[in-house]
A and B are shown apart, each in its own frame.
Chain A
């Protein structure tokens, strides 16, 4: 069942187009990433889907309700974890959750059980009676995730869920999200500019740049679409022709001391390629990742300081 749909959704601030004709169709139970650099319009899109911003034009429906005409019903259907902590620091974790449960009209008798349940999920039971101002950044994020789940929403929005967290905490948050998706089948839409996050968690990824969706598919399909993985084979007398004939070899280029291939699912086909290639001195495999995809579609790295082999793949893929 389709749970989120947008048609030509746009948001402009004066001359600046923050969201540019975005079309999304998200199915129930999916984990969808909006991947893009800072300022690409991911958060703005999320704000529109959660009714905190009104779209300038276009349509968006969440859980069957239009964000313009039924914002209250949309808000009742969603949970939101903001980029910046939005808990009250002068309340305890428990009190923050109770406040949330009341505002979402969670039935009185089930409030304590629900709170205990979500606190358990994010491992904050032992801090429940401490003021939030004594929490670390990771604990706050976990509390916010717990809060987003408390009213059992149909869709959970996570705005940069692991931004600014240390690797260990990030790993934990990823585990919570995975557990959640597995156990509840909840639809999750997250924004991120960490490609490993999108790759690890998400069933589909929408790459957003300058407010527009430039590509949308499963991480695997996105990588394959740009020519797949790269294999670099070094050797003096390689048999080029048989390799060229393989259907999974998308492109072949001779370089100084060998050949560079663009291959769909390099891991599965490496053996066949090497057998056909003859005497091989050295092999390097570079699996394509979302950064390559991003670079391919936008002409730039998602983060500063990427390039090198990726840069090369891009030009390689473009030529093809």
Chain B
């Protein structure tokens, strides 16, 4: 048990160190949503008819976006570890694959939550109406969402054979998850086919949950959204453990 905890700590430590050293990743992760917020939000906001200010309406979406981008990419980044052979060094230790998976999830999730927290702080200065409870519930929701997405990223990364596959991840996973989540538009007036897709997107529940907490607008209760995300997490952790145990170099 002690060995397992130390192993998880080691992988977490490495992930955090590397993340903090690669400033460019941190900077782009924080600035990208801000560009969307200011440029896209202001532009579309001039014609959008939402019940609250459009920029405020899409702010929860950007928290979710940060989590989607950083979690998935940090997870899929394991393919880079494969390429530079660092993964071999980890796989040859006595740690079990499950421990390695959990360590990776903890590390990548910390990175993602750190980015989201920075954005949350910036949101305060942009005039988002926070209460302490809202911030706490927001972080809890982001935490739940990040676990699933990091796992998804790790699963994809464990199957990828070279970093060139990153483009596919971005086109077929990251953008659909983000664009179908309702981060940018209300979901109640969509054609039926699209409604189905938005229901299938776990990010929808994260956006909805955050919108309820931060703006008191939503279609589902916090509990319902949380439960869906929890189910999503369990499924992906289970799949991720399986994927790691079958992963070959």
Contacts and interface: CB of A to CB of B under 8 A. Distances in A.
Interface stretch (B4-12, B142-150, B225-233): B4-12
Contacts of A91: 14, 17-18
A75 B21 contact: no
B168 interface: no
Given A72-B94, A105-B94, A100 B89 contact: yes
Interface string B1-44: 01100110111011001100110000000000000000000000
Contact-size category for B: 20 to 34
Contacts of B10: 99, 102-103
A90 interface: yes
B136 interface: no
Interface residues of A, number: 26
Contact of B86 (A76, A88, A95): A88
Given A90-B17, A90-B18, A102-B7, A75 B94 contact: yes
A230 interface: no
A103 B100 CA distance: 10
A114 to B, nearest CB: 14
Main SS class of interface, B: helix
A102 B89 contact: no
B199 interface: no
Contact of A90 (B21, B85, B87): B21
B140 interface: no
B95 A103 contact: yes
Contacts, number: 67
Contacts of A88: 14, 18, 86
B90 interface: yes
Nearest to B4: A105
Contacts of B21: 90
Interface string B88-107: 11111111100000000000
Contacts of A76: 94
Nearest to A79: B92
Contact of A103 (B2, B87, B88, B90): B90
A160 to B, nearest CB: 13
A138 to B, nearest CB: 17
B234 interface: no
Interface of A: 50-52, 72-73, 75-76, 78, 80, 82, 84-91, 95, 99-100, 102-105, 147
Given A90-B21, A105-B94, 9 more contacts: A52-B249, A78-B92, A80-B92, A88-B18, A88-B86, A91-B18, A99-B10, A102-B6, A105-B6
